[in-house]
Structure 1
């Protein structure tokens, strides 16, 4: 009986424990269901907020974020709080409250260091830096964000990477880096077009069009902006359409099509009231100021600039301060109030310096130089000119150094590849030698006869080894010659091309930007021709040399009338001919047909003519003539120059030929005649000369009337 009571008690206790356990599990399950319900509610609220943002109702969207924060805090929903912080910063950016947006997103980054929204954090932070004009910080934040791209769902990664490239392009553009700007825009555009993503395509086309606006390439700008407008209208993308109208207005305004520009600005103002009712249209008003200034409507322009400036001061938009200060400076300078213009330019320069925007700073130093010069402030004008020149040269040098470094890297890679190939060949030879030695040792133990035979083989092997070493030494010498030629190429690029191109850049910039008289412009343009022709000739020779060294040259033989070709080459050297008062004549009859490659023939004639001009004194003469044989034509180029010294006769057609100064101290590149000889041989022809010092030189170029040219060098 007692045993039954104990069993009954045990069963009772067990039953109570099961009931309590069931209640406990029921509570946990209920809590889980509640959590799921709350998170779903938060996600639903996010959908509502994004819809409000899409339709431009940013004030209501911002207010609703407070409810999201409150609900997320109640059940410690970290994702909800982090997502709310991102959206809050985005709305502040749209409303142009840049400092508040940056403070907000920085707080979120510190508060949630392990969030799976870190890509969104840094992308929003970069956008804030972009608005503040801090392009370097923006690029750094974009790159940080890309480190967390794997946190995004796979379906979103490609689009997000493309979006970052587009945004980075904008930052690079503000730094004056055109190469990285266009490169990043085109990567974004390629993604958008391949995926048919109309929203992203609209944004990318709009940004690319705006970029070409800044480069004054208005035809390209209009093309991309019109494409963006068509897609935006088809899909009712109103916020994008607002930016497109503004940029199209800028395109037509800059291109002096003011009526069309005004139409787009008015459309942008109307759309701004609809999609951004809480954000003043300071950018549109600034651009209206530029338009009125160009139309010489002083009062309207001044009112527009001052209204836009006031908005930028209130919203703390630093870049807006720069543009409006500069706009007012340009306005007062245009209406001959130079001292007031200088005051506004100085304010703009202070802002540009704070923003570390080199292009803006260069423009303002030039503006200050011209304005100080107009009022006779010589010392201040000189100081501004020196600052302008120093910064312009610095920017040009960076671009030139980058291009030279890229070329050097490519050629060095080719050289290293060739060295590695030779090392592999040498290693293979050494391995074969080891195998041969081992076989000899084994054979020596077996029989004397075999030893004798193997000794003979060893002797032959030694002979082969010597031949291989001779080949290796020859290849080593060829590599050293190649390296010397490479150094020569760099010297030409660095000196003969970079210096004249830098001079050209300066002259063209002064023609485009400075207030020069018509006669001064004509004098500058006349001085451009010889420098430009010299650069073109040197580039042609460099291109032919580089192709010969790296990949070979394919020739395309055809029957051509040589007289007009030679006339064309002569016409492009007339400046140098006139400068020395030379008499030149082309006695080659019309319809003198030769079977040649057109470009190779031009290169030979141009180099031979350039040499004759270079080594002929003033008032001398140059004569082209020809004689025809059964299957060939021999062209002669005869001059009355200083001739070629006897000790140079054997070397002038070699790659390592030393250059001589011309009669007017002209320089040469040293490989023109070697190219002439190479091309003549490839066209089944030959080239030679006769020369007497202080009497003159005659070059003979014999080419076939018809025949097959070798295809490759």
Structure 2
């Protein structure tokens, strides 16, 4: 169980602004967004939106809608994010001189579509972003890295590994500096490249990529940031898959220690992956009790995780924990988990997106 990294780009982002200062309100909202205070961020942005609509400033209205899209995406409300991004795109399309901002919003829309597994729509949005960058000669290596990284993530999920590798490698060749913690960073791209190498069984190259990614991440984020768990879990997955079980356990334990002591909020999927990795290793050691403890905590994270890109991992957790519960003679709870897994599979099988309905 491992993960790829995909980010979004915040447009034009701490003082408390005046109620009539729409630029200050938007910047305050972006500042709150940057530290994970989404409700407060949305409050500021919506106030800015009302002011900009009152004075009929299309560009500022578009920036507010783009910021709202970023917030909704962070809250995993992707339909709302897409709605707000498309409003921003509609407004920015009227202003040729705003091609840089427009390309950025198209790229962020692609990120929302990718998270929902709508890869065709995401590729179309990235194509438009790339067209705008090329046509208007936009000089933004960070945005180009974002576009290439998003392409690589899509190709990875489509199992087009040669294209994924090419996209990630091209992104690593760009000379760029992340402007803030929300921009794509080199350590994230190298981590993604490691996943491609692992899937294609180039294990030595995968390990080198993960170790380089970890070093870069520690320099960028420090040695206790919860994002380090992403790379540590990938290393653990690599070691477990190649029979280096003690080294795998060490990576997962480091990841768990970071997450359990973190004072920074993080996606609960990080914890689920770490706990699942440890649980699987305890199972291999025939330690059903400790495996059950880890998997029980992992299963607690699965509730409400219904994004297509997350479902395979959720099902792995539920199926594995159900087997452990059977071994521990807890057949009632095991059956409940099996039914939950069946419900998720049925939901995914019978859900047809509006765009695909005939």
Which TM class, normalised by the smaller chain length?
Answer: 0.7 to 0.9
Which residue is 1:154 aligned to? Answer: 96
Alignment of 1:143-542 (within 5 A): 143-146=86-89, 148-149=91-92, 154-156=96-98, 158-197=99-138, 199=141, 200-230=143-173, 232=174, 235-237=175-177, 240-276=185-221, 280=225, 281-282=227-228, 283-294=230-241, 295-296=244-245, 297-310=247-260, 314-357=264-307, 360-361=310-311, 363-373=313-323, 375-376=326-327, 380-399=333-352, 403=356, 405=358
Identify unmatched segments of 5+ residues in structure 2. Answer: 1-12, 179-183
CA shift in 2, pair 1:190/1:341, >3 Å: farther
1:109 to 45, 55, 59: 45
Q: Identify the structure with bigger relative contact order (alpha carbons < 8 Å, sequence gap 6+).
A: 2
CA shift in 2, pair 1:88/1:380, >3 Å: closer
Which residue is 2:6 aligned to? Answer: none
The answer to whether the 8 A contact 2:275-2:297 is kept is yes
CA distance in 2, matches of 1:214, 1:340: 32
| TM-score normalised according to structure 1 size | 0.40
Which residue is 1:45 aligned to? Answer: none
CA distance in 2, matches of 1:263, 1:206: 19
| TM-score normalised according to structure 2 size | 0.73
The answer to whether the 8 A contact 2:305-2:314 is kept is no
CA distance in 2, matches of 1:404, 1:80: 42
CA distance in 1, matches of 2:80, 2:353: 25
CA distance in 1, matches of 2:287, 2:194: 28
Cα root mean square deviation, aligned: 3.7
The answer to whether the 8 A contact 1:289-1:304 is kept is no
CA shift in 2, pair 1:340/1:380, >3 Å: same
Larger radius of gyration: 1
The answer to whether the 8 A contact 2:299-2:317 is kept is no
CA shift in 2, pair 1:104/1:401, >3 Å: closer
Identify unmatched segments of 5+ residues in structure 1. Answer: 1-61, 406-713
Q: How many residues align?
A: 325
The answer to whether the 8 A contact 2:116-2:309 is kept is yes
CA distance in 2, matches of 1:137, 1:207: 20
Residue 163 of structure 1 aligns to a residue whose secondary structure is: helix
The answer to whether the 8 A contact 1:345-1:364 is kept is no
- 1:317-349 deviation digits (Å, cap 9, x = unpaired): 334334334333444344444454444444334
Question: Could you tell me how far 1:379 is from its partner in structure 2?
Answer: 5.2
CA distance in 2, matches of 1:169, 1:251: 21
CA distance in 2, matches of 1:118, 1:140: 14
